[in-house]
Amino acid sequence: MSFLQPMLLAALPLVALPIIIHLINQRRYQTIRWAAMMFLLAANRMSRGYARLRQWLIMAFRMAVIAGLVFAISRPLAGGWLGLAAGNRADTTIVVLDRSPSMQQAGASGVGSKLETGRRQLVRTLETLGSAHWVLIESSTNRPRELESPAALLTAPSAEPISASSDLPAMLLAARDYIRANKSGRTEIWICSDLRENDWNAESGRWQSLRDSFLEFSQGVRFHLLAYPQTAPDNLAVRVTDVRRQQAAEGAELLVSLRLSREGGSEARESIPVHFEIDGARSELTIEMTGPTFELKDHRIPLERSHVRGWGKVSIPADANPADNDDWFVFDEPAPRRAIVVAEDPLAARPLQLAAAIAPDSLVKCSAEVVATEALAAVEWEQVALLLWQAPLPDADTAKRIAGFIERGGQVIFFPPRNPGPAGFQGIQWTAWTDRSEDVPVESWRGDQDLLAQTQSGGPLPVGQLQVRKYCGLSGELTALATLRGGATLLGRVTTSAGGAYFCATTPAVGDSSLATNGVVLYVLVQRALAQGAKVLGNTRELTAGDPAGEDPAGWKRLTGAEEALSTDYPLHRGIYRSADRLLAVSRAPAEDLAPVLADGRVAGLFRGLDLTRIDDRAGNLSALIQEIWRLFMLAMMVAMVVEAGLCLPRRRQPGGTS
């Protein structure tokens, strides 16, 4: 139970008024000389059961009348989850809104998505509760924005659904910074989310610092989690996994690979018509789906020979979540994959050059050029996909140039020089070589993503067969992708906003490791980095919503996709865009497919020690989370008055009794 006017609850001691009046009345007794004492004494000896009970009931109902009145004027709210303190008007109310695609899932009735319901519920609830300031932190920018009133949540474009994932820790960090910067008073933080693991990043270390910093606030910060954890078991998601254009006997054809996922993991057989749209031309394919996922490999769609570049869309019929029923792609002739090798050790340079120059497909043109450090200024970086660096870490201008290359989306793999110097790159330094007399195997590696991910057939790379004899230490903050026995990092990645910067702790030189002699791992590693770097070079590019990856959205023009999106928000909405003469396909984040919902215990653990109230709502819910219920108390008061009056009525005497 919570109240809009909790100060009036201070009048609750008035409930004791009937007792006080009763006690005063007892003291104001009259004395009378009485003859018929025998009846009084007899009455006194009799069982007092009902009479005593009636007296207590009358007293209780009188107290209930006063309590009902006090509660009624305190304006109670239905919805006990808000807690007692919710009644105090907050100084600042921060709404943390998850706009991710999974929030577009509709309820069982099909009316209203989670996001729409959440916004409506927030508006109704917050308008009832009131606050001095309203701030919205939504998941596209993670920046606080002042609102005039909660009603703006219904109309503001910044509360509309997007295709990008959310980052809840980042949004809460923004809320923390806002509270700290504005020195706001008592703050209520309302989080509206569907608790998907990819949005919440529950494993992130930021949660600990968030907890600590919120606990430090003396003004008191309350969290209200408006959760929509329900999943839609029949919801299907479609994602294009690969698109290739290849020449055929009669022209050309497009090979489209896609994956269908079912959220509930159901095994039921289902016919699903999949629609393809290539530059506006439609075709359809019916898929018999039996398992929780379905992979379609290289579905051929004929193209005209002259049709080299274009865009496409794959869609399935509408279901619970409209945001994952389509996916967009662009295609073009693959861009040439050009690699630059900078190596001080020729024994290391040669395997690297070979690994980068041998194309995995006849359609792909690969080239690798060994360049001296001094000649780097003359390199046309706009055409380079990968830089393989086996030399002392770059300094000054070179480092700046390479950083720009990475920022543009290029990939760099650093190998250790023979004499590690003090120079560092992006916070990483080589320390010293370790020479083991025996071969050290790789103990663990990340097979789920990045350069050492499993193959397309699902098998692991033979990383475990690698033997490393000499390796150089690394200092600095990087994410380990492979670790040697003993804990030393073999391959690590530096966190970058775009592109990739990797550090490999050994070289392919024969005396250092079996990277060159084994070959497979080095080749896959280099080719994957090369392919990744080449993606930004072609005339087409596929982007993940919310991550422009170095592209400037200012010049984008929408070809097809979300109609309602503002031009500044194009990178947030899936669709096809044109930037100069390039085609860009923006897709929803891959993690959005089949993202599990965080368990209740995990969510509670994230807010451990903080003041959190959680309400589980469901999409399409039309009833308000809270509503004023003073009428109920007024009615209860009147009922109590009537019952009290009934109890006070003297009992009807037996006819012909004592009269």
Partner 1 sequence: MFPDRRQRSFLDPGVLSRLAGFPLFARRPMLGTVSGRHPSPHRGSSVEFAEYRKYVPGDDLRQLDWRAYGRSDRFFVKEFEADTNLRCCLVLDTSGSMEFGSHRVSKIEYARRIAGAIAHIALQQGDAVGLSCVARGVVRNIPPRRNPAHLTSVYDILEQTQAKGETQLVPVLHELSETIRQRALCIILSDLFVEPELLRGCFQHLRFRRHDVAVFHLLDPRELSFDFRRPMRFLDMEGGPALFAEPNEIAERYHKALGGYLDELRQVVLESAVDYHRVSIDDDYEQVLMRFLVGRARSKGAR
Write the DSSP assignment of 240-295 as a string of letters.
Answer: EEEEEEEEETTEEEEEEEEEEEETT-----EEEEEEEEETTEEEEEEEEE-SSEEE
Name the residue nearer to partner 1 (CB basis): 218 or 658: 658
Among 39, 298, 317, 567, which residue sits at the site for partner 1 (rule: CB under 8 A)? 39
Sole window of 44-52, 308-316, 430-438, 497-505 interacting with partner 1 (rule: CB under 8 A): 44-52
Coil/strand/helix, residue 452: helix
d(CA 102, CA 231): 9
In 3D space, the residue among 140, 298, 254, 324 whose CA is nearest the CA of residue 540 turns out to be 254
Query: Which helix (DSSP H) or strand (DSSP E) does residue 401 occupy?
Result: helix 396-407
Residue closer to partner 1, measured from CB, 44 or 457: 44
- Sole binder of partner 1 in the list 7, 20, 48, 372 (CB under 8 A): 48
| Near partner 1 by CB under 8 A: residue from 391, 484, 654, 655 | 654
Under the binding rule (CB under 8 A), the answer on residue 40 touching partner 1 is yes
Does 35 participate in binding partner 1 (rule CB under 8 A)?
Answer: yes
Contact 114, 619 (CB under 8 A): yes
520 lies in the site for partner 1, by CB under 8 A: no
Q: For residues 25 and 2, give the distance between their C-alpha atoms in angstroms, rounded to a whole number.
A: 36
d(CA 173, CA 225): 16
Contact 463, 435 (CB under 8 A): no
**CA separation, residue 516 to residues 135, 142, 355, 359 (Å):** 57, 45, 9, 17
Q: Which of 17, 42, 375, 604 binds partner 1 (CB under 8 A)?
A: 42
Is 631 near partner 1 (CB under 8 A)?
A: no
Picking from 579, 520, 527, 576, the residue whose alpha carbon sits closest to that of residue 553 is 579
20 binds partner 1 (CB under 8 A): no
Q: Residue 19 interacts with partner 1 (CB under 8 A)?
A: no
| Site membership for partner 1, residue 37 (CB under 8 A) | yes
Q: To the nearest whole angstrom, how small is the minimum distance from the Cβ of residue 63 to partner 1?
A: 17
Residue 26 binds partner 1 (CB under 8 A): yes
The window from 85-93, 167-175, 541-549, 650-658 that contacts partner 1 (CB under 8 A) reads 650-658
- Figure out which of the listed residues 269, 631, 651, 652 binds partner 1, where binding follows CB under 8 A: 651
Out of 55, 290, 456, 475, point to the residue binding partner 1 (CB under 8 A): 55
Which of 10, 16, 19, 51 lies at the binding interface for partner 1 (CB under 8 A)?
A: 51
Per rule CB under 8 A, is residue 32 in the interface with partner 1?
A: yes
**Total chain residues near partner 1 (CB under 8 A):** 31
**By CB under 8 A, which span of 34-42, 453-461, 572-580, 585-593 interacts with partner 1?**
34-42
The binder of partner 1 chosen from 38, 181, 249, 580 (CB under 8 A): 38
Distance of alpha carbon 573 from alpha carbon 565, whole angstroms: 7
Q: Does 655 bind partner 1 (CB under 8 A)?
A: no
Torsion angle, CA of 650/654/657/659, rounded to 10 degrees? Answer: 40
Answer yes or no: are the C-beta atoms of 315 and 325 closer than 8 Å: yes
652 lies in the site for partner 1, by CB under 8 A: no
Residue 23 as a binder of partner 1 (CB under 8 A): the answer is no
CA neighbours closer than 13 Å in the CB half-sphere of residue 263: 22
Strands (E) located in 279-403: 281-289, 293-303, 310-315, 326-331, 337-343, 366-370, 386-390
CB 93 within 8 A of CB 123: no
Q: What is the 3-state secondary structure (H, E, C) of 43-81?
A: HHHCCCHHHHHHHHHHHHHHHHHHHHHHHHHCCEEECHH
Least distance (Å) between residue 19 CB and partner 1? 14
The reply on whether position 378 binds partner 1 by CB under 8 A is: no
Stretch that binds partner 1, among 38-46, 277-285, 327-335, 476-484 (CB under 8 A): 38-46
- Please say which residue, 30 or 218, places its beta carbon nearer to partner 1: 30
Closer of 30 and 306 to partner 1 (Cβ)? 30
Q: Which one of the spans 132-140, 597-605, 619-627, 647-655 is the region binding partner 1 (CB under 8 A)?
A: 647-655
Position 621, amino acid: N
Question: Are residues 202 and 210 in contact, defined by beta-carbon separation less than 8 angstroms?
Answer: no
306 interacts with partner 1 by CB under 8 A: no
Minimum separation from the CB atom of position 22 to partner 1 (A): 9
Q: Smallest gap, in angstroms, from Cβ of residue 637 to partner 1?
A: 23
Which residues are near partner 1 by CB under 8 A?
25-26, 28-44, 46, 48, 51-52, 55, 650-651, 653-654, 657-659
